[in-house]
Amino acid sequence: MMKNIIEQTESFIRKYGMIEKDDVVIAGVSGGADSVCLLFILCALRNKIGFQVMACHVNHGIRGAEADADEAFVKELCRQLDVPSRFFHKNVELIARKRKQSSEEAGRAVRREAFETMCREDGGTKIATAHHRDDNAETVLLNIARGTGLKGLCGIRPVRGKWIRPLLALGREQIEDWLREQKITWCTDATNAEDIYTRNRIRHNILPALREQVNEGTVRHLEELSVQAQEVWEYLEQGTKQAWERCVSLPRTGEHKNEGQGSSTPVYGEAYGGLLIGREAFRHEMPAVQKQLLKVCLASVRGGEKDIGTVHLNALAELFDRQCGKVLDLPGGVTAGRIYEGILLGKQDGDEKGNSGKTNGAAEVKPEEVRLNIPGVTFLPDGIHKVICRFVDAADADKAKEIPQKSYTKWFDYDIIKCSLSARTRQSGDYLVVDEKGSRQKLKSWFINEKIPRENRDKMLLIADGQHIVWIPGHRMSRACQISNRTEKILEIKITEDKKNVREDQSAGSGREG
């Protein structure tokens, strides 16, 4: 058994090119079964492959005497195996409070920092952790449950830069059986038996139920899924890099930067203050590549993938089909502007939310715009307003006069709508249609004539059809969209809002031509 498990791990190491001659491998050794197995196998292979092994142990300062006993165990083990070692002491609970993280997150972070420190100070070239097949299955299930894309299905990768996982081909039971056969002892962390951590609940409840009640090969099948996902992900990444070359450029800086003419191709995945994504080139890419390219571009401007979700990528993709001048606010103070050539991404100067109102290499910052679900319900970002849209039978057009004269319900001639309706605050170029002849009035002029306080103008909710403001809830609607005897499709829009801010008198009436 010992020979087989070592040979199996060696084959896995060579398959992925994890360790080469003259490498210095920093092994994370907690004292648990997995890390003890890792250390023994690395020591068995170090002379054969020609690398050095060093051990790194982190005492989290959580379990008191038990943690100290684990540290003493690892020290003695390293002495017996003639493995140089370093021991780090961290107050993980204090660090978690300071960083506003859970103890799990803080623990992972301090271990990672300790490994990196050893690499930097002790000449390490690789960092080996003791993740195995069951850990990978737990990770895939956790990612699925929390919501994930293809990347999350990849689970734990065998190699990621200098980080390697030599035991991924082994299962937890296989590891522990081998240690018992070799009469090798290990430490048991009592917290691993508790179900207070999400991963432990998957380990103790979900995976056993899947094995016993669905398929005993669940872990192996999840591993196979993970490997397939990794292969597809690598292919997708390669395609995304090629698409970056075709679609992405740096915006031209200077007086006419809003024209967005690109100059040179930026380096894939590097940080930039602004990027231009060309519309024509982008639309020829495959959908999977399009979405991943948008994520890479957004992360490059934002400075990381944190808080970037599917909803943001979908909104960004939809922006390509919107009118020039449309602008979308995205996480991390990033603004996406629709221009003639495509989409211009820029990072707002100032704080995380971009309160300065200025961007670096992108279009001017404009208010967030939310496309309405027609028919359907749209929740607005302020958490207060909800917009409900439904179609009304044209035969009921005469009932328009019966609609209560309140600010939150209106009927519109949907046949007149040219673009997708959106809820937003004002933008440059907005206008109203003020009479039956189609005469236009700038929204700014309307604000002045109606004596709307300047400090309120940027906050007022508008329902817009492109630059055409079809409704100012609480005030008036555009004459162009009022229903008539010629109307074939009627759209009802109802807005729930804080009624203390609602003005009951409306100059445009019920929404029907008189």
Chain centroid offset of residue 297 CA: 13
pLDDT at 411: 86
The reply to whether 31 sits in an annotated binding site is yes
CATH number of the domain that residue 343 is part of: 3.30.465.60
pLDDT at 41: 96
The three-class DSSP label of residue 471 is: strand
> Rounded to an integer, what distance in angstroms lies between the CA atom of residue 162 and that of residue 165?
10
- Please say which residue of 338, 366, 394 terminates a domain: 366
The reply to whether 33 sits in an annotated binding site is yes
> Rounded to an integer, what distance in angstroms lies between the CA atom of residue 267 and that of residue 254?
21
| Encoded tokens for 512 | 């029907």
Block residue for tokens 């016993």: 212
> Rounded to an integer, what distance in angstroms lies between the CA atom of residue 51 and that of residue 22?
5
Q: Are residues 126 and 274 in the same domain?
A: no
pLDDT at 354: 38
Nearest CA among 300, 315, 306 for reference residue 249: 300
Q: Are residues 283 and 190 in the same domain?
A: no
Residue 238 lies in a domain: no
Residue 345 lies in a domain: yes
Residue 245 lies in a domain: no
> Domain of 343?
250-366
pLDDT at 399: 59
pLDDT at 437: 79
Q: Are residues 389 and 458 in the same domain?
A: yes
Residue 340 lies in a domain: yes
pLDDT at 357: 41
Q: Are residues 39 and 188 in the same domain?
A: yes
Q: Are residues 216 and 298 in the same domain?
A: no
Pairing of strands 342-348, 334-338: antiparallel
pLDDT at 350: 45
Q: Are residues 17 and 166 in the same domain?
A: yes
pLDDT digits (tens, 9 = 90+) for 240-283: 999 999 999 988 654 333 344 445 778 887 888 889 999 899 99
> Rounded to an integer, what distance in angstroms lies between the CA atom of residue 134 and that of residue 152?
16
Residue 514 lies in a domain: no
Q: Are residues 13 and 36 in the same domain?
A: yes
Which residues 6+ apart lie within 8 Å of 465 measured at CB?
A: 417, 418, 419, 421, 481
| Alpha-carbon dihedral angle through residues 454, 455, 461, 465, given to the nearest 10 degrees | 40
| Encoded tokens for 173 | 């039971």
Residue segments in the chain with a per-residue pLDDT below the cut of 50: 1, 254-262, 350-367, 404-405, 498-514
pLDDT at 508: 38
The reply to whether 383 sits in an annotated binding site is no
Element (H, E) at 357: none
> Rounded to an integer, what distance in angstroms lies between the CA atom of residue 335 and that of residue 467?
19
Residue 76 lies in a domain: yes
- The set of long-range contacts for 1-6, using a CB threshold of 8 Å and a minimum separation of 24, is 1/177, 1/178, 1/181, 2/178, 2/181, 2/182, 5/41, 5/170, 5/174, 5/178, 6/41, 6/44, 6/45
Q: Are residues 212 and 270 in the same domain?
A: no
Whether the bond between 381 and the residue before it is cis, its omega within 30 degrees of 0, is no
- Please say which residue of 341, 366, 391 terminates a domain: 366
Q: Are residues 171 and 262 in the same domain?
A: no
- Please say which residue of 232, 267, 299 terminates a domain: 232
Element (H, E) at 45: helix 33-45
Residue 304 lies in a domain: yes
CATH number of the domain that residue 147 is part of: 3.40.50.620
The reply to whether 333 sits in an annotated binding site is no
Q: Are residues 355 and 449 in the same domain?
A: no
Residue 507 lies in a domain: no
pLDDT digits (tens, 9 = 90+) for 41-73: 999 999 999 999 999 999 987 777 888 899 999
Q: Are residues 189 and 268 in the same domain?
A: no
pLDDT at 258: 39
The reply to whether 193 sits in an annotated binding site is no
The reply to whether 102 sits in an annotated binding site is no
Domain count, the chain: 3
Q: Are residues 312 and 329 in the same domain?
A: yes
